[in-house]
Structure 1
Amino acid sequence: MYDIKFIEEQNQNEIVPFLEKLDASIPVEVLKERLENMFQNAYKCIGVYHGPKLIGISGLWVLTKYYIGKHIEPDNVYIISEYQGKGIGKQLMEWIFNYGKSIGCNGSELNCYTKNESGQRFWESQGYVMVGYHYQKRF
């Protein structure tokens, strides 16, 4: 069985190896600096544990926007490869949705990379509908 719970801010270094898997081009020190800043700005991270082993993560933001109201945003979801395809992602999302409902959220939204076709299929299987494009401009 898997245990799903919040990762405490003081244990944020446990998250870094997962973030490295998501984007190896970002140096570890930059990831750590960004995580520190994120935790200071209402970021939460959920961990999926198999016994004492952390096998998956999802960042989580609770936001309010005029077009959806109060909602949760899963962010940088990653399950290590040997645990993928076992329904753990679905279990994690159910936990997140239940948490969102318990704090009065109206729904959930997220971003998924355009080239991540398996991610797009997963999110659609979880009931998400594509409603727009995510644009980015770097300075």
Structure 2
Amino acid sequence: MYTISLIPNSNIDSILPLLQELNPKVELKTLKARLDDMLQSNYECVGVYDQNKLIGVSGLWFLTKYYVGKHVEPDNVYILPEYQGKGIGKLLMNWIFDYARSKGCVASELNCYVNNTSGQKFWLDQGYELIAYHYQKQL
């Protein structure tokens, strides 16, 4: 019914409308510039498709840290609202976990906004544990 696959860099701009829904305060040209910059830093993106329609995305960062080892960080995970609550997020995460294992990852970490209570519930349901706070300071 749904297909999940990596989005090739040649088609990466297809994620911009979904990123804009997720980040409505960020201008499209800024999102595009940041995406272009991220592609230079080993960023990958996976998409969920209903036929040929892109209905969900997740950025993928692969990192190694002292305390956890090699891991995947799903980033800007988003499913169109009309497709939410249908198990697609779980399918996407299982695909990501399998892909990460194939790349030698032993864990997954991510950030979730403090006001995103439905997201927090989703991540807990996926087996994530709240282990830290993420801080940010604008320079």
Given the two structures, how large is their TM-score scaled by the length of structure 2?
0.98
How far did residue 82 of structure 1 move?
1.0
Q: Deviations over 1:74-130 (max 9, x none)?
A: 000000011110000000000000111111101100000000000000000000000
Aligned residue for 1:115?
115
Q: Does 1:70 align with 2:70?
A: yes
Partner of 1:97: 97
**Which amino acid letter does the alignment assign opposite residue 128 of structure 2?**
Y
RMSD: 0.6
Separation of aligned partners in 1, 2:16 and 2:133 = 27
State how far apart, in whole Å, the 1-side matches of 2:133 and 2:40 are. Answer: 28
Other structure's SS at 2:131 match: coil
Distance 2:61 2:86 in 1: 25
2:119 maps to 1:125: no
Aligned ranges 1:1-139 → 2 under 5 Å: 1-139=1-139
Aligned residues between the structures: 139
The runs of 4+ residues in structure 1 deviating greater than 6 Å are none
Secondary structure class of the residue paired with 1:15: helix
Letter in 1 for 2:68: I
Q: Quote the sequence identity (%).
A: 58
TM-superposed CA distance for 1:12, in Å, is: 1.6
The offset of 1:13, in angstroms, is 1.2
